[in-house]
Structure 1
Amino acid sequence: MALLAFLTVLALVPTLAVDAQAQDKDSAGQHGGSGQRRGDGTDSQVAIIVDASRHMTEKSSGSGSETRMDVAKKAANETAKAVADRSETMVLGYGSEVAKAPENENSGCLDITSLSPLGDNKASDLEGDINKLQPKGYAPITNALKQAQREMDFSKKRSIVLISSGIDTCPHPPACEHAETSYNDPMETIHTIGVDADDKGKKVLECIAKASGGTYSDADNIQDLLVELIDVKGRVPNYGTPSGTPVQLADNPDNGFYLGEGLYQSSLPSPPKGKEKGDEKWFSISVPDNTQGRIAITPIPLGFEGGNWIKYGTEAEVRNDSCEYRETYEDYYIWPAPPSAENITITPDQSCDSTKYRIKISGIGDLHDTELPVEILVGFEPIASESEAGPKYGSGVPEDGDKIEIPDTSPQPTPGGTSYATAPEITKSTVSDTLVPGEMKFYRMNVDWGQRPVAEVEFDKNEEPGSRTRRGNLYIASPRRAITSRPLSDELEENAPVTVQAVNTPYVYYLNREGAEQDWRTADAGQWYFVVSLEGYNDNGKPNKEVEFRLSAAVEGERADGPAWRQPLEPGPAPSPEPPSSTGADGSAPQAKDIDNAPQSQTIMYAGLGLLAIVLIAGGAVYFTTVRRK
């Protein structure tokens, strides 16, 4: 038995290692997907009640020649369009059949017409029934509410949408009093939409809604109500999370860990309220001979729930006290634009100790009293000779660059990443995925010297209820994560898809770094990025309906000569308190201080193997003791 236990434990060694590697692979590959889609909504019912009493013939207070009835029909049709494919629906009209006259009061207060019986109605059919209404008589709000309540299924979630001026000409009992005494079922809610409601009418409508846990909206601002009515369960936005080898940034320059070549992740304290920047944090770089250090610091957007135009970014300083070297950098971004990384280039001077470069970074912007995730991309680029550098191109963008036609193919469903680090690599093709408001999707493509990336994206038509506009955006960024194209955007339309192009990135040449700012951004061959986004405004961070997009991307131009080096994208080696040449760069085993900065799954693997060794020793002792006794 002891021998069997020994052999069983021995067999677990490769399993432990494979499991730990799988955990690393899974965590590295996670990025946003399309999320869950909403079901068919047949567990809910919506009754739309439209006021067609005589006073609805009056002109609306808005501009133009619309009457109150016109405004009410528009609100009713928008409501029907939002809910028809998600819920069972019905439409009632009141005041449209019996003329208002003293002798008609009794019949007028019962003048309620079922325009569309409760069922799985199409929005177009509901619209046709609503548009037939003609204002004529009394306003029996209470009786209309009672009839809607009678016709709905008490076992389902029920919503009544009352579209009215709030004038109640049959107050027996008053509508507000009726709502306060008759609507206490959490499955039943009344929402009210005011059509040119005066103070008295608005008070009545607000009372009805409040009594049942519903909301009041003016007819020209019903977007939030419609979003609530459709009970959106599509998904919330997927925001990026940092990738790379974790590193603990230091509080002072002397204790900053040395970073090697690759990707790292950490976080920065955001500025306290009333301050322009957060606490300073440090790391170190040792630049190998005949290379220059290339550093890109990327803040990771948090989504900023509830708003647009949020400023966030980083401030950086590079110093080397051995030669009084100082360089400062600052860049910030305005959400919902994707981050354009803070790019730093360190070209060692012979008077400087190349092992003593200290980098100070701080968080800046409108984000307060929290942590700002950051990714730090490090590369050591060999300094190219004149013969290696390749040609210098005189004009960055062709004059007719905005007229280029992007090759289009059948779209292949391809989930985009939620950050630069999680962007899937694509080839010249068309891919498709979905966005919800406030979300970005990232893709990458190889671009060689002498080429430039071009792209266009087609967004599906805007099927959100109401009239809220959305802007779809397309950006292109370099391997150093610097935005190189103008942020092109366009508003999504209700009736047709919208196409946005990004075709103004210059051709990529090594010697572009000697030119203007726009040129240095296009001085790196390698993995270029395409970023597609959908603005969220006040819906950032909230569940919302998905919009499909189709991204067509390609490279233009002939390959040219240039250096072979490309920026590594993999996680960097474990941070070290000493320059790499003396702490493991020679292939020695990692020390405890390195394990502390390693990914968690590696730490688990080391701990598991240590525990396994103890078990093996104990099992062996038991086995040999048993043999001896025999």
Structure 2
Amino acid sequence: MSLLRTVRRSPRVLVAALVGTAAVLLPLGAGHAAPSSAADPGDPGRLMLVLDSSGSMAEPAAGGGTKIQAAKTALHHVVDGLPADAEVGMRVYGAKVFSRSDTGACTDSQRVVDIGSDNRADLQSAIDAYKPYGETPIGYALQQADADLGGTGPRSIVLVSDGVPTCPPDPCKVAREISRGGVDVRIDVVGLDVNSRAASALRCIADKGHGTYYDVDDSKELSDALETLATRAVRPYEPTGAPVTGTADPTTAPTLAPGSYVDEIGGIETTTGTLHYAVERSVPGSSITVAATILTPYYVDRSQPADKWDRIDLQLSTADGQSCGTDAPASVRSMDATVLTATVDADDCPDADQLIARVTRTDGADFPTPLELVVAEEPPVLDAATLPEGVSGSIAWQAPPKGPSAGTVTGGRSFAEATPISPGAYRGTIVPGEVQSFDVQVGWGQQLAATMTIPDPSGRLAGELSQHGSPFGMGIYNPARADAVAVADGSPPHSSTIYPTDGGQVGAATAPVTYRNRELVGDPLRAAATAGEYTIVVSLADSRARTSYEVPFVLRVGVTGSVVPAPQYDLATEEPTETPSTASASPTDESPAAAEDEPTAAAKKDDGNGPVVLLAGGGALLLVVLAVGALLISRRSRRGA
């Protein structure tokens, strides 16, 4: 395997939940960015609140007061808690026309506040004017909300209703049409004290809108449901890269230079379930590596069960059809892994100037999912035979140190935004549907081990975990995103997933990192063939959760072994011919454009660990970073770093 280079009850509780919902549902679409919006991964998206103003909202709420009173109190605080840059609007339906027999009843929906970030006073005034009155034209209101949000970029709709739709069009069909705008569109629905007929209709809206439905009976349950909607969208996994569109026909495949890309791959047995991309070799004798990453079903559509499976197949071949390598990881469940990654190198085709990468959904989900692609080109090594041999025999478990916590840490939302940490112990929390990622530097000759410990829960948390059997997962991926969890003698019994109703621990380790591990049989061993940033990904999947809960954990990380000399790469024939372009790379502060004042010589020192090499030629950009004596991944700038 070759290393890649890429470019957080009562009315008070209800208030808190709604504040969180409006504040953090905004990035939801960004977390599922479609190619149309991937060029601006920092776009926080737009949110439209769609509120039921039908006459039934004047009815008593099970927890006391009326439904409309609870909503007003909460919404005022929503506005108070909005981030300064939050793009939010508000739409109501059933507010003007009293009866379905009256003209205009089924088109009775008004955008009472335009989407914007400078509209707080308008939102407060609209809340004061919010009153129960007429019918329930949900389908029409959804159509108008979709138009309000526009046709591109991350978009979210939050629908709160207490009744069955009373007007055409069918809101379930409308939700399906809206969701066809891409995976960056989401409709979440809460049904308040509704009968079975209404619940069925509202659930269909959420299902077809790639969202989540919550059926609640009183203000307390409404609070919990909205809180869950909020926390699930706090830190969604965020696919990143330059937008690209793969083709069904390999002869018309787009050409990818080394870099990071984002696309969308269709469901199984669909015309977009197989996509092709062309990869050009710019360095003679180099090693080309391609990685394809998809989100598992639960993390694409939270209405999906956490035990739903998915699978992809990645093949590399020459333009004339000669096979250069394939990777088809076993089908994986969302509870076991947030992402599924296939990684292939083209060492079997060292002389091919162009390669064709073919990505296919071969199992599981029948709906689209974001697809990340990473292309890397690694220079040849001068004398690989003189390097230490790959791992032989069993791997010994080297437990992370048990020292005091180094502090509180929150992981990043994706590979590209992983939080960098050093060996040590860290405290954190995680909520249902959340993904957290951490980067750890591992040098040549070193081994990474990590554990995630969930304490014995008590009180409400114990009830939640006991009821749902919430699966916690942890994985370790090499800089090329390949699964690097190797079986180690003496390691914790759980290396991927635990259900800690009474507390528990999951632990995993890599093999010692050696260049010639790539010659071995067994993907986890081959994955430990590159030094650099290894990513620890932890997650909590609970598709049955109707209430929000926060779980504390302790993450312990250890890196053992002495650093050995790095491989010597053959760079003699490569000279930069021009200032590299970032046209094919994902937007990043760490891209060559961000380093325009740096020298473009063939090599320079980087923290004393090795040269940084910029290679450009044949119109294709090659950025190779040699750190700890090896190539490193060039990450996106991390928000809040």
CA distance in 2, matches of 1:213, 1:41: 28
Taking structure 1 as reference, are residues 475 and 151 closer, same or farther at Cα in structure 2, changes over 3 Å only? closer
Contact 1:278 1:362 survives alignment (8 Å): yes
Q: Structure 1 residue 310 and structure 2 residue 308: aligned?
A: yes
Is the alpha carbon distance of 1:308 and 1:224 closer, same or farther for their aligned partners in structure 2, counting shifts above 3 Å? farther
In the other structure, the counterpart of 1:574 is 583
CA distance in 2, matches of 1:586, 1:477: 23
Q: What letter corresponds to residue 530 of structure 1 in structure 2?
A: I
CA distance in 2, matches of 1:288, 1:449: 24
Aligned to 1:492: 500
1:434 aligns with 2:434: no
The superposition leaves residues 68-97 of structure 1 with CA deviations (integer Å, 9 ceiling, x where unpaired) of xxxxxxxxxxxxxxxxxxxxxxxxxxxxxx
Matched letter for residue 549 of structure 2: K
Aligned to 1:520: 526
Q: What amino acid does structure 1 have at the position aligned with 2:483?
A: I
**Unmatched tracts of structure 2, length 5 or more:** 1-5, 17-59, 72-131, 134-159, 163-192, 200-214, 486-493, 571-579, 586-614, 624-641
Question: What is the identity, as a one-letter code, of the residue corresponding to 2:619?
Answer: T
Q: Does residue 1:334 correspond to 2:333, yes or no?
A: yes
Tell me the distance in 2 between the aligned counterparts of 1:586 and 1:228.
52
Give the match for residue 111 of structure 1: none
Which amino acid in 1 is paired with 2:401?
I
* Structure 1 counterpart of 2:376: 378
Deviation at 1:506, TM superposition (A): 1.9
> How far apart in 2 are the matches of 1:149 and 1:481?
50
% identical equivalent positions:
16
Give the 3 Å change call, closer, same or farther, for CA 584–564 of structure 1 in structure 2. same
Please tell me whether the aligned partners of residues 451 and 555 of structure 1 are also in contact (alpha carbons under 8 angstroms): yes
Q: Which residue of 2 aligns with 1:290?
A: 285
- CA spacing shift, 1:343–1:405, aligned 2, 3 Å: closer
Kindly indicate whether residue 272 of structure 2 is the aligned counterpart of residue 266 of structure 1.
Answer: no
Which residue matches 1:254?
251
Question: Distance between the aligned counterparts of 2:368 and 2:389, measured in 1?
Answer: 47
For 1:341, the aligned partner's letter is T
Partner of 1:561: 565
- The reply to whether residue 511 of structure 1 matches residue 507 of structure 2 is no
SS of aligned partner of 1:382: coil
Give the counterpart letter for 2:497 in structure 1. Answer: S
Once the two structures are superposed, residues 384-405 of structure 1 have per-residue CA deviations (whole angstroms, 9 ceiling, x without a partner) of 513663354434511xx27x25
Structure with the larger helix share: 1
Query: Can you list the C-alpha shifts for 1:213-238, whole angstroms capped at 9, x where unaligned?
Result: 999xxxxxxx9878557455252243
Tell me how far 1:312 sits from its aligned partner: 2.4
TM-score normalised to structure 2 length: 0.51
Answer yes or no: is the 8 Å Cα contact 1:454–1:503 preserved in 2: yes
Q: Secondary structure at the match of 2:518?
A: helix
Q: Secondary structure at the match of 1:455?
A: strand
Alpha carbons of structure 1 residues 224 and 245: separation in structure 2 relative to 1, 3 Å: same
**Residues 147-226 of structure 1 aligned to structure 2 (within 5 Å):** none
**437-446 vs 474-483, which deviates more?**
474-483
Note closer, same or farther for the CA distance 1:281–1:560 as it changes in structure 2 (3 Å cut): same
Question: What residue in structure 1 maps to residue 470 of structure 2?
Answer: 470
Paired letter, 1:264: Y
The answer to whether the 8 Å contact 2:324/2:347 transfers is no
CA distance in 2, matches of 1:300, 1:315: 14
Compute the displacement of 1:468 (Å).
2.8
Distance 1:565 1:276, change over 3 A: farther
CA RMSD of aligned residues (A): 4.5
Q: Is the 8 A contact 2:496 2:507 kept in 1?
A: yes
CA contact under 8 A between 2:445 and 2:562: conserved in structure 1? Answer: yes
State the distance in 2 between where 1:280 and 1:42 align. Answer: 45
| Distance verdict in 2 for CA 1:440–1:408, change over 3 Å | farther
TM superposition shift of 1:251 = 3.7
Superposed CA offset, 1:342-397 (max 9, x none): 111112647x4x22212122233332243433232423242351366335443451
Letter in 1 for 2:551: V
Q: Calculate the TM-score normalised by the size of structure 1.
A: 0.52
1:585-624 CA distance string (max 9 Å, x none): 599xxxxxxxxxxxxxxxxxxxxxxxxxxxxxxxxxxxxx
Q: CA deviation at 1:257?
A: 3.0
Go from structure 1 to structure 2 and tell me whether the alpha carbon gap of 1:405 and 1:527 turns closer, same or farther (over 3 Å shift): closer
Rate the CA distance shift 1:254–1:388 in 2: closer, same or farther, 3 A: farther
Structure 1 residues 468 and 286: CA distance shift in structure 2, 3 A: same
Query: Within 1, Cα distance between the matches of 2:419 and 2:507?
Result: 19
Distance apart, 1:562 and its partner CA: 3.2
1:374 alignment partner AA: E
Matched AA of 2:552: E
Secondary structure, aligned partner of 2:339 = coil
Partners of 1:267 and 1:152 lie apart in 2 by 46
1:124-135 equivalence runs, <5 A: none
Cα pair 1:388 1:562 within 8 Å, conserved: no
Note the C-alpha offset of 1:152.
6.3
Provide the residue aligned with 1:420 in structure 2. Answer: 415
CA contact (8 A) 2:334 2:541 kept: no
